[in-house]
Amino acid sequence: MAVKFKKTTAIEIEHAVIDGVDISGHWSRMFEQRVIFEYTPELIEKVTDLPDAESFAYCYQCAKCVPVCPVDIVGDYGPRKLYKYAQTGTDLLQSPGLWLCTTCSNCLRVCPKEVNMIKIMPAAREQAILDGNFVPKELQDAFENTAKSGNPLGQPQRKRDAWAQNAGVTVPIIKDLARPVDVLWYVGSYPSYHPRGMDAASAAARIFSALGIDFAILGKEEKDDADTQRLAGEKGLFEMMSEHNIQTFNKYEWKEMVVTGPHELNAFKNEYPKYGFDRPVLHYTTFLARYLDQLKPLLKHEINLKVTYHDPCYLGRHNGEYEAPRKLLQAIPGVELVEMDRNRENGYCCGGGGGGMWMDSYTDKHIKMRLSEKRAMEAASTGVNVLAVACPFEVSRFEDAVKSTGNEHVGVLDILELLDQSMRGKQ
């Protein structure tokens, strides 16, 4: 027999006395209609209707994301706040908040409801771009450069492998070798063109060469992975670039691919498989950690430095590699590795991900200091001589940041450069 429930109604009495005890109190607000009902869900639905962005609606405002959001730490942001703003009349697709997220994924790590900004942000940004809404000029330039020149820096394709001339070792081009290789090394745009990136690329070439690794690069056939452009909202550009790259990768025989950058790792390991690419890809730290036994005898020169290591978001949180970079640093004689308070899973973002690399002058208007500056100060506070990095976005970001925060005494070096220094002695 079906049980019939009677709808309960609250009874309000001025005094309640139970067993002689007066338990009168104030009327509970829980029984009143809450302010939230005055909001319309339209601006939330505008986001959740987008493909992959439905989790925006799961937010129940617990605010666990706010203290871990690197943007909130230097400003007033945080995923919870975006939801609240949408509830109270802000169109995310037309607000500055659309461009501040670096897709660092620290909010997703702590979110009990799995509100996934790594999917929401690219979807919302893509729609904003398609709608012809405001897009920061520098970001447009990076998109256009990628489409026109094959790299976000707008450098000529012909010079993609020009850095190799100064590496001091032979850097074979796979096309010229015309034979299968063990390792296809995808150098990446910043190591190919940025002066400080080239230093890391040359160091890598020397290390691979010293280890006797059978490697080759794509040379002038290599183009940007475009994953960061995808996260910044340019999915069409990402698809165009991935089609080109997959075709290029598959033209050659190689056993595994090693990438210099964590963003490229994320692209080729997690995103390109959706477009049919399924071959082993490793970040250089993971790859070199395998060769520790062969590497250690090569590290002949002591580097007496106190070093801290910055976990790149796309190597750590996104791809789970925390130990290999530390193992490599600890293998260098004389290096004392110290940790910053925010490390590993809770590593602080440098501000370059999700397109942040190409929006600094725009995001500057909405934050108190750059994320890279905050991190440079954290590094300096540990009393180190060197901030070691493993992502090509970071060297230039942190070198600027140590200068602008008065911490020039902290050097910024890629792990590759430190290994190379220990191998050859300081040049």
Q: Which residues bind another protein (CB under 8 A)?
A: 126, 129-130, 132, 135, 137, 140, 143-144, 147-149, 154-159, 234-237, 239-240
Is residue 268 within 8 Å of residue 242, measured between CB atoms? no
Smallest distance from another protein to CB 135, Å: 5
**Smallest gap from residue 260 Cβ to another protein (A):** 23
Question: Of 180 and 195, which has the nearer Cβ to another protein?
Answer: 195
Return the number of the residue (156 or 280) whose C-beta is nearest another protein: 156
Contacts 24+ apart (CB under 8 A), 174-177: 174/216, 174/217, 174/218, 174/219, 174/252, 174/254, 175/218, 175/219, 175/221, 175/252, 176/219, 177/216
What is the smallest separation between the CB atom of 272 and another protein, expressed in angstroms? 17
Q: Which two tokens stand for residue 365?
A: 């208007």
Exposure string for 311-339, b = 16+ CB within 10 A, e = fewer = bbbbbbbbbebbebbbebbebbeebebee
CB of 396 to another protein, least distance (A): 20
Q: 414 to each of 51, 105, 191, 324, 362, how far by Cα in Å?
A: 37, 23, 11, 14, 27
Copy the structure tokens of residue 288. Answer: 């070199």
| Closer residue to another protein (CB): 151 or 286 | 151
Q: Using the minimum distance from each CB to another protein, give the nearer residue, 159 or 255.
A: 159
Question: Smallest distance, Å, CB 130 to another protein?
Answer: 6
Q: Name which of 214 and 243 has its Cβ closer to another protein.
A: 243
Q: Residue 214 contacts by C-beta under 8 Å, 6 or more apart in sequence?
A: 181, 182, 183
What is the DSSP track for 312-372? PTTTTTTT---HHHHHHHHHSTTEEEE--SS-GGGPPP-S-GGGGGG-HHHHGGGBSS-HH
CB atoms within 10 A of CB 426: 8
Q: Give the shortest CB-257-to-another protein separation in angstroms.
A: 25
Q: How far apart are CA 257 and CA 276, in angstroms?
A: 16
List the one residue out of 197, 265, 264 whose CA is nearest residue 412. Answer: 197
Instruction: Indicate the residue among 4 and 158 with the shorter CB distance to another protein.
Output: 158
Q: What's the rounded Cα separation, in Å, for the pair 361 and 382?
A: 28
Cα separation of 241 and 246, whole Å? 9
Q: For residue 1, what are its two tokens?
A: 């027999």
- By C-beta, is 245 or 308 nearer to another protein? 245
* Sign of the C-alpha dihedral computed for residues 310, 316, 318 and 321 taken in this order: positive
Residue 383, number of CB atoms within 10 A of its CB:
10
Cα–Cα distance for residue pair 117/92, rounded to 1 Å: 13
Residue with tokens 């070199």: 288
Q: In this complex, which beta carbon is closest to another protein, that of residue 234 or of residue 414?
A: 234
One-character DSSP codes across 93-105: GGSGGGGT-----
Tell me how long the chain is.
427
Q: Which is nearer to another protein, 312 or 354 (CB)?
A: 354
Residue with Cβ nearer another protein (151 or 372): 151
